[in-house]
Structure 1
Amino acid sequence: MEHINLESFRVTEPIQLSNRKTNLHLEVDDEVVEKELRRTRKKLGKLQDTMYAHGKYAALICLQGMDTAGKDSLIREVFKDFNVRGVEVHSFKVPTELELKHDYIWRHYIALPARGKFGVFNRTHYENVLVTRVHPEYILSENIPSVNSVEDIDDAFWDARFEQINNFEKHISDNGTIIFKFFLHLSKEEQKNRLLRRLDKKEKNWKFSAGDLKERKLWDNYQVCYEDALNRTSKPHAPWYTIPADNKPVARYMVAKILYDALKAYTDIQEPELDDKTKAHLSEYKNALENE
């Protein structure tokens, strides 16, 4: 498993999604991959405890991908060994009436993790340059003063929105949030298989929506928008990783390993030591408790 060059999946220069793998074939079976995932997520859980005690960094994990890419199950499996107080998951749906009365980043900003915690965004602020770009009419519900019709949503509008997102991420990074952005890169054929499983298995029927098929017809549009978003917003302080998503166990392992390796490199993340005065009286405090 160590031979996987995880850095090669980081977006460091302009990419074409059509040239990026959707399935990473390893020379081991899924059982071995899942064993490595369990080992890595336990180490991640311990590292999160240290981050919580240290209290100077937060970690924000952003997950994007087409429908059925495996975001929900990845969250379940990667963060299974975390103390529940140390991780918060937010799944962003269609904006509420209250959210639409604020700017589009507001609901994401108020959901950011506190220092010492992990925050997971299941769908993210990037929906505002993805689904709204495929369906620009959705922008009209934001009631932006300068936008009165779809014709007002031109290239300059999207340029400005990308700049706003980059500024948002730079701001939170400068203030102690370590950002990871993962695009779960699914093939169209595998999405078809997963949608069919939702129809074939009664216990998974609830996951299916006729809207999934409507959006599937816009697959190519979404790929263009994703590619542009990744290329415009992958920065050293907020990198994108394209994760091959056709094989769920491999995708989960890759995300966990990338998180652990990157966070472990922060050598200043250490559990705080007791002050000298408290250290000098440890035996006294212990004796007082034992002799109650």
Structure 2
Amino acid sequence: MIQPKLLKQFLVEPGSEVNLKDYATDWTETDEAKAFGKDVIKERSKEVLAESREAMSKAQELLYASDTHSVLIILQAMDAAGKDGTIRHVMSGVNPQGCQVFSFKKPSAEELDHNFLWRYMKALPERGRIGIFNRSYYEDVLVVKVHPEWLGPGQPANPDKDFWEKRYEDINNFEKHLSRNGTLVIKFFLHLSKDEQRRRFLERLTNPDKHWKFSDSDLAERDHWKSYRKAFEDAMAATSTRRAPWHVIPADRKYVARALVADIITTSIQNLGLEYPKVSEAQLAKLAIAREKLENAGKDHEPEP
């Protein structure tokens, strides 16, 4: 597993201002990482990912058995940052019956007629399960902040600072409510550089197997890079709390991002201090009778010819 001291550098301290220039997009290029070398980091990342998968499988079983908590994982990022791949690689070791993934697209007319948190509330994981939001209610302080014309009916045409601060407050209160009721909220921003996004877009355009991944809107939204960056900074500064802090994950190297996300999720679940349900003396007595009955059952039958 990764040392807590190392992981702390990716954490957005509650109450702090956020400038994404302070966070690396390619961790292998940092002074700390250069001492190891890229080959060593890549190999170690693979090891951490494998270790975390195994540990997460056990943690998930304990989460389900204890039936006291749920886990909500939030993934936000610029386009092509690797959210889908992160989910696929990090969660491949868990029992699919205990994990659910929701990808939120453009809201429907019905969803726009409710408060902005309504459609996300319906998708929350129940106790004992892990839920993953591939994009989330944070879109309602990100994409619509860049495009306020998409806010929907009944919303201001030119929302002011007070409007967004109230939305941040709503999100903080929502996550506080979830935490109080046993939901562990783990939030990740996959931090991708504009150059790496360009490279990944070009790969989608030149590789026939990846043509389906490209959309005309990808380039259109890329033109708003600075506005999105500022929206992310404002949102993380306002909503990184003790109960639900943000983690800024360097995403230019996919193997680094996946190892970090896997380790943080696994460690966070383990830190819940979950235990298997205690069995009463009366139940233990019943189990002993059942075991004795099954052990003696084979002795009652004649051997097969």
Alignment TM-score, normalising by the size of structure 2 = 0.90
Q: Which moved more, 1:21-30 or 1:67-76?
A: 21-30
Residue 64 of structure 1 aligns with which residue? 76
Deviations 1:78-104 (A, max 9, x none): 110111111110001101222122111
Q: Deviations over 1:36-72 (max 9, x none)?
A: 2011111011101001000111111000000000000
Separation of aligned partners in 2, 1:216 and 1:266? 39
Q: Which residue of 2 aligns with 1:35?
A: 47
Q: Which residue of 2 aligns with 1:178?
A: 184
8 Å CA contact 2:48–2:263 kept in 1: the answer is no
> How many angstroms apart in 2 are the aligned matches of 1:136 and 1:260?
37
Match in the other structure for 1:102 = 114
How far apart, in 2, do the equivalents of 1:131 and 1:254 lie?
26
User: Does 2:283 correspond to 1:278?
Assistant: yes
1:16 aligns with 2:19: yes
Matched, 1:127 2:139: yes
User: How far apart, in 2, do the equivalents of 1:124 and 1:86 lie?
Assistant: 20
Distance 1:216 1:69 in 2: 12
Contact 2:99 2:130 in 1 (8 A): yes
Counterpart Cα distance in 2 of 1:50 and 1:19: 37
CA distance in 2, matches of 1:2, 1:44: 14
Q: TM-score, normalised by structure 1?
A: 0.94
**Segment drifting more, 278-287 vs 251-260:** 278-287
Give the CA deviation at 1:261: 1.7
- The whole-number CA distance in structure 2 between the counterparts of 1:62 and 1:253 is 16
Between 1:244-253 and 1:269-278, the stretch displaced more is 269-278
The whole-number CA distance in structure 2 between the counterparts of 1:175 and 1:32 is 36
Provide the residue aligned with 1:114 in structure 2. Answer: 126
The Cα offsets for residues 265-287 of structure 1, whole Å up to 9 and x where unpaired, read as: 222x0111222112123332112
State the secondary structure of the residue aligned to 2:187: strand
Structure 1 counterpart SS, 2:109:
coil
Q: SS at 2:115's partner residue?
A: coil
Amino acid at match of 1:11: V
**TM-aligned CA deviation for residue 106 of structure 1:** 0.5
Flag structure 2 segments of 5+ consecutive residues without an equivalent. 298-305
Q: 2:208 aligns with which of 185, 202, 212?
A: 202
RMSD over aligned Cα, in angstroms?
A: 1.4
Larger mean Cα displacement after TM superposition, 244-253 or 30-39: 30-39
Q: Show structure 1 runs of 5+ residues with no match.
A: none
Query: How far is the alpha carbon of 1:29 from its aligned partner?
Result: 4.5
2:173 to 167, 170, 189: 167
What is the CA-CA distance between 1:258 and the residue it aligns to?
1.0
What displacement does 1:155 show?
1.4
Q: Given the alignment, which residue of 46, 52, 62 partners 1:50? A: 62
| Greater radius of gyration (CA) | 2
What is the aligned residue count?
285
> Larger deviation: 72-81 or 26-35?
26-35
Structure 2 letter corresponding to 1:285: A
SS in 2 for 1:74: helix
Shift of 1:255: 0.7
Question: Secondary structure, in 3 states, of the residue corresponding to 1:11?
Answer: coil
Q: Which amino acid aligns with 1:7?
A: K
Deviation by residue 1:199-231 (Cα, 9 ceiling, x = unmatched): 011000000011100100110010001000000
| 1:155 and 2:156 aligned | no
Matched, 1:237 2:240: no
% identity of equivalent residues: 43
1:265 and 2:274 correspond: no
> Residue 67 of structure 1 aligns to a residue in which SS?
coil
Q: Give 3-state SS (helix, strand or coil) of 1:42's partner.
A: helix
